[in-house]
Structure 1
């Protein structure tokens, strides 16, 4: 039987949908207060198991009869107040999964990391798997937590665990709604007039799940793979979304000073309203980075693998926005 952690998340639910479609038995891990995603509601033969990723003994029960594990559970936040909790979930939680995989002699683990755990390119070319992550005090908490989580997997590999790590770029898809990457689409839908000069890597959620299953079924172990369909500038991404939604295309490039001023106002508003601000120091920094990633290694290992063009994903997402 297959165990999937983070089963109610954006990626975890898509992964389970694809595994179920192949007729595989799945035990889906979720917290007791988490709701089952709509795309999984009609799949009655999924075995749901309530356990917190930080509850070792509950996790141990979830591992009974398990042979393969997909570790999708993770906390994503760019707020400094969440850093401590992110380190616990993304690092300590991963350590528990690795230890249980070893003690239960699991056949294979596929661990979901992030491009945030990769180092910066030293040649101004797209980042690859061999670029070494070096702490310099500028990394945000999410990056640190995902890097530390990877270190736990590599520790498990050194102790004899068969494992593969995937480093997806920004994962998009219609079922994200207005959360996570869906916020980018919703931001444009609301009618913003500006864009930032940075760029980012993008990949469809269906492709990430497909690659994970392919890696699980392969003999490959002790490797990590960037999963990235294409690198897009924020300018082109916002323009494509706006065109598909039949709204004005953002035409103004905002400066870092202007966005930083907006951060100050957002912080002030959060203090008075008590609401969690969406704009943070780390999101401002990310918006101005030219983040480029190469998936050449993945295609070298799987030359027949094709990833969905990002323009197609954007069409699917904007169509969903118009009808939902």
Structure 2
């Protein structure tokens, strides 16, 4: 059951030049929405790609309240996907300006222009390193870095709006991957060329979401009547371990899985020193503590609430999703053009 209003559906998507926002915007067009994207630069290549997909462009920064309000005029739905992700060359204030303050701008614009639904994209990272396996929407917050703290501050605003009766839903994605994304490219490349190293035991839990399933969850959160006033974790049916993930990537690429395991403490110490050396001069360090956290922080969640309340059904399993992702990397020239047989 979804939103059955007869009026035309017009959606504003923030963050549409990014991986998740772009796929969401295109899917909304396919579903009959008129879609507008708030972009910082209409002349950028990513903006041109959106325009070619029949998506209207509104120029402005999501951190600018007036720009957000102009973009929201006439919209029935707002999907707020834009965020500043982890990068050590940003000051903390930048994270809070975008990941917290922009949420306030979106909520105010939605109220001003009478949007029927607002979906705020948060992150499972607000739960941090979870001790409860699998965690759920009621698991205690435990943000571990400025990105997660700023995302939690933004989500706090969205949940307060929900408590005040606004037609808002919050989605907390697990790790999103698939064709079009390059965040997992380093993992694929290093497994393929034999340079990947596991730090720690590799038995830490990890939870992924294929991009098509993520978009399904976001749209359900924006359409289903039962989604209003609710928070949903969105992810695949099952979580995995880093060892299993790496072995599956190796199998997808037809290479031998890596076996060497190294202690994680020296890597974390090196990452800490690297950040402290680079941040004062505005350089993005080659090694971040957040990258080391990939090997140390447990991420495993239940998506039962989204299944029960809004009919969320993950459709792409990990093996299939990794294969599709590898095919896209090959098509882009990021990996070898054909798999190399395991010897």
TM-score, length-scaled by structure 2: 0.84
Is the 8 Å Cα contact of residues 12 and 77 (structure 2) preserved in structure 1? yes
1:10 corresponds to? 19
Is the 8 Å Cα contact of residues 28 and 49 (structure 1) preserved in structure 2? yes
Q: 2: CA distance between counterparts of 1:2 and 1:218?
A: 15
Is the 8 Å Cα contact of residues 207 and 300 (structure 2) preserved in structure 1? yes
Is the 8 Å Cα contact of residues 80 and 141 (structure 1) preserved in structure 2? no
2:149 corresponds to? 144
Q: Is 1:309 matched up with 2:317?
A: yes
Provide the aligned length of Structure 1 versus Structure 2. Answer: 316
For structure 2, the 5+ residue unaligned runs are 1-9, 333-343
2:77 corresponds to? 68
1:42 corresponds to? 52
Give, in angstroms, the shift of residue 158 of structure 1: 2.9
2:341 corresponds to? none
Q: 1:188 to 1:55 in 2, by over 3 A?
A: same
TM-score, length-scaled by structure 1: 0.88
1:185 corresponds to? 188
C-alpha distance after superposition, 1:119-167 (max 9, x if no partner) = 6656x321100112157xxx20111011001011112223331011110
Give, in angstroms, the shift of residue 111 of structure 1: 0.8
Report SS of the residue matched to 1:61: helix
1:164 corresponds to? 169
Give, in angstroms, the shift of residue 56 of structure 1: 1.2
2:217 corresponds to? 211
C-alpha distance after superposition, 1:52-95 (max 9, x if no partner) = 01111122211221111000111110527443211110000111
Q: 2: CA distance between counterparts of 1:291 and 1:214?
A: 23
**Of 121, 130, 151, which aligns to 1:112?**
121
Q: Is 1:89 matched up with 2:101?
A: no
Q: 2: CA distance between counterparts of 1:245 and 1:278?
A: 26
Q: 2: CA distance between counterparts of 1:115 and 1:267?
A: 24
Higher deviation after alignment, 76-85 or 261-270: 261-270
1:56 corresponds to? 65
Is the 8 Å Cα contact of residues 51 and 58 (structure 1) preserved in structure 2? yes
1:298 corresponds to? 306
1:103 corresponds to? 112
**Of 241, 244, 250, which aligns to 1:242?**
250
For structure 1, the 5+ residue unaligned runs are none
Q: Is 1:223 matched up with 2:230?
A: yes
